[in-house]
């Protein structure tokens, strides 16, 4: 186990098994996951006063995500998350257990339906076309995150929530601060902790106003549908609506940026796989699933023992925290053939690979998966078709310090018009 260098560690020097601070690890964390997996299926890390256990193998991660003995840490005041963070955009039903989770997810699902998502296709297509037009007009070297991967999901989530174009950059700033704030508190600088709180308050104030406007004058957007949703007399309260907007922002934006970025990066590093995709663009859904397995935007998911239980033959007491290291589970050689290979056809055959955990599993399975898939597929199809000479201009590209979200700071590429 290599201990984390603390040179750029903002908080206490807590050793984190999967290497938070080493820039080399940031570029490729998978060898360290492999070492963890090989050493022990469960790795105990001291997390302030509260120890946590990292779960590294596939079948144990599946157990933790699907069995009712495991759930979310609803109270969440421990070394991982300080109390005021619950006033920091990190509430919502993602953090809840049944029955509260069941009720809220049910209500939201009535407005955020497959039909609503499918209806976005023409808008996503025209946005992608215009972003690629602009990128091609610049030609030469560009940052693909800035040119395509970021503006697409940002604009779509803004339009869904009814945020006008002139407020988009403000919204982006809040998203940055709240997404950074998902990482454990002890990894954040005092400035990052403070920004999480102020951005959350500004976000709440903005959306309180927007929700009031939609209540008075409903429009065609998702926010109006969420305000109006009813189920046998039940509805979303004002607070629940605010929490939901923050959840959609944090869960749905930076993740999609990185799904697009990680997929393009994997293809450009594996020209034989890119050639397969160019020859058969219908491999795109398989490429997306393979990216979610091979280099997932969400690297791990937290869980809490809701009662005494066990994993991998080891006992866990009620209240213990685990880190489900899904990005490691998906490279488990006991489950995935040749796991470190990016295989564009892995999910295309008649006997596809075991399911990945890139969108989670069980009752918290990602509600936005169809939207993320749609945006990524439309963007990637257009990019592959219109930029036949696309090439990496920097390898490895720079990463941001985030631990939970695998976040490309930029993806410099070359292309010609
Ligand atoms: C590539 C993009 C995305 C990835 C990798 C991703 C990943 C995930 C994961 C791993 C979870 C499960 C968390 C857990 O079990 O605790 C989750 C939940 C969730 N995601 Fe996504 N997500 C993506 C895009 C989106 C989008 C576009 C939206 C909506 C706009 C969204 C909304 C949600 C919501 C609401 C939940 C909570 C579901 C629940 O607790 O029942 N996600 N996502």
pLDDT, tens only, 197-207? 898 889 889 99
Q: What is the mean pLDDT of residues 171-193?
A: 84
- pLDDT for position 20: 57
Residue nearest to atom 30 of ligand 1 (CA): 252
Residue recorded with tokens 């990190």: 90
* Ligand 1 geometric centre to CA of 255 (Å): 8
Q: What is the distance between the alpha carbons of residues 170 and 99, in angstroms, rounded to a whole number?
A: 35
Q: What is the mean pLDDT of residues 76-96?
A: 62
For ligand 1, say whether the CB of 105 is within 6 Å of any of its atoms.
yes
- pLDDT for position 368: 95
- φ, ψ for residue 115, nearest 5 deg: -70, -40
- Say yes or no to pLDDT of 113 above 60: yes
Mean pLDDT value across the chain: 88
Domain ranges of the chain: 23-415
CB 229 within 8 A of CB 111: yes
Task: For residue 95, give the ligand 1 atom closest to its CA.
Answer: 40
End-to-end CA distance of the chain: 47
For ligand 1, say whether the CB of 262 is within 6 Å of any of its atoms.
no
- Say yes or no to pLDDT of 84 above 90: no
For ligand 1, say whether the CB of 91 is within 6 Å of any of its atoms.
no
- pLDDT tens sequence across 46-75: 665 567 899 999 999 999 999 999 999 887
Q: What is the mean pLDDT of residues 397-409?
A: 90
Residue nearest to atom 43 of ligand 1 (CA): 366
- pLDDT tens sequence across 147-164: 999 999 999 999 999 999
- Say yes or no to pLDDT of 271 above 80: yes
DSSP assignment of 229-276 equals --BTTB---HHHHHHHHHHHHHHHSHHHHHHHHHHHHHHHH-HHHHHH
CB 92 within 8 A of CB 200: no
- Say yes or no to pLDDT of 284 above 90: yes
Q: What is the distance between the alpha carbons of residues 370 and 29, in angstroms, rounded to a whole number?
A: 27
Pocket test for ligand 1, best of 72, 104, 152, 366 (most atoms within 8 A of CB): 366
Residue recorded with tokens 């955009």: 89
Residue nearest to atom 31 of ligand 1 (CA): 368
Q: What is the distance between the alpha carbons of residues 277 and 347, in angstroms, rounded to a whole number?
A: 13
Tell the CATH superfamily of the 23-415 domain: Cytochrome P450 (1.10.630.10)
Task: For residue 372, give the ligand 1 atom closest to its CA.
Answer: 27
Q: What is the mean pLDDT of residues 267-285?
A: 97
Residue 136 CB neighbour total at 10 angstroms:
15
* Ligand 1 geometric centre to CA of 3 (Å): 31
Q: What is the mean pLDDT of residues 376-402?
A: 95
* Ligand 1 geometric centre to CA of 416 (Å): 35
Task: For residue 72, give the ligand 1 atom closest to its CA.
Answer: 16
- pLDDT for position 13: 37
- Say yes or no to pLDDT of 10 above 90: no
Q: What is the mean pLDDT of residues 41-48?
A: 77
Buried b (16+ CB within 10 A) or exposed e, 108-129: beebbeeeebeebeeebeebbe
Give me the residues paired with residue 302 across strands: 323
- pLDDT for position 89: 45
Out of 48-57, 77-86, 161-170, 343-352, least confident range? 77-86
Q: What is the distance between the alpha carbons of residues 376 and 285, in angstroms, rounded to a whole number?
A: 9
CB 289 within 8 A of CB 348: no
- Say yes or no to pLDDT of 4 above 60: no
For ligand 1, say whether the CB of 93 is within 6 Å of any of its atoms.
yes
Residue nearest to atom 32 of ligand 1 (CA): 368
Q: What is the distance between the alpha carbons of residues 284 and 192, in angstroms, rounded to a whole number?
A: 37
* Ligand 1 geometric centre to CA of 71 (Å): 16
CB 404 within 8 A of CB 183: yes
Q: What is the DSSP letter of 146?
A: I
């Amino acid at each position: 186990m290599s201990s984390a260098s603390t040179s750029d560690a903002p908080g206490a020097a807590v050793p984190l098994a999967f290497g938070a601070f080493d820039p080399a690890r940031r570029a490729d964390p998978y060898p360290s996951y492999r070492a963890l997996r090989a050493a022990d299926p469960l790795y105990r890390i001291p997390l302030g006063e509260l120890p946590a256990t990292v779960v590294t193998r596939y079948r144990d991660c599946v157990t933790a995500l699907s069995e009712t003995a495991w759930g979310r840490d609803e109270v969440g005041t421990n070394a991982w998350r300080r109390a005021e963070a619950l006033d920091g955009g990190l509430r919502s039903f993602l953090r809840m257990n049944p029955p509260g989770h069941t009720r809220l997810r049910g209500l939201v699902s009535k407005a955020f339906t497959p039909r609503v998502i499918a209806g976005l296709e023409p808008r996503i297509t025209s946005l992608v076309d215009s972003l690629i037009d602009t990128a091609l007009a610049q030609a030469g070297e560009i940052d693909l995150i800035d040119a395509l991967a970021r503006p697409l999901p940002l604009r779509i989530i803004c339009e869904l929530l009814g945020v006008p174009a002139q407020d988009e950059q403000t919204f982006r700033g809040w998203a940055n601060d709240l997404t950074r704030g998902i990482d454990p508190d002890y990894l954040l600088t005092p400035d990052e902790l403070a920004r999480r709180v102020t951005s959350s308050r500004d976000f709440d104030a903005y959306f309180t106003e927007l929700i009031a406007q939609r209540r008075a004058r409903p429009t065609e957007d998702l926010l109006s549908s969420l305000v109006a949703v009813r189920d046998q007399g039940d509805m979303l309260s004002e607070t629940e609506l605010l929490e939901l907007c923050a959840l959609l922002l944090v869960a749905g934006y930076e993740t999609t940026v990185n799904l697009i970025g990680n997929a393009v990066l994997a293809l450009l590093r594996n020209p034989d796989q890119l050639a397969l995709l160019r020859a058969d663009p219908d491999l795109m859904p398989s490429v997306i699933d393979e990216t979610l397995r091979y280099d997932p935007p969400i690297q791990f998911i937290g869980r809490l023992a809701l009662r005494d239980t066990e994993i991998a033959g080891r006992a866990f007491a009620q209240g213990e925290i685990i880190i489900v290291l899904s990005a490691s589970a998906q490279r488990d050689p006991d489950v995935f053939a040749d796991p470190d290979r990016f295989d564009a056809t892995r999910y295309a055959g008649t006997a596809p690979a075991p399911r990945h955990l890139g969108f989670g599993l069980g009752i918290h399975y990602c509600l936005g998966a169809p939207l993320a898939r749609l945006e990524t597929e439309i963007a990637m199809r257009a990019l592959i078709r219109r930029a036949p000479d696309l090439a990496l201009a920097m390898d490895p590209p720079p990463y941001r310090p985030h631990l939970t979200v695998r976040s490309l700071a930029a993806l410099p590429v070359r292309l010609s018009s």
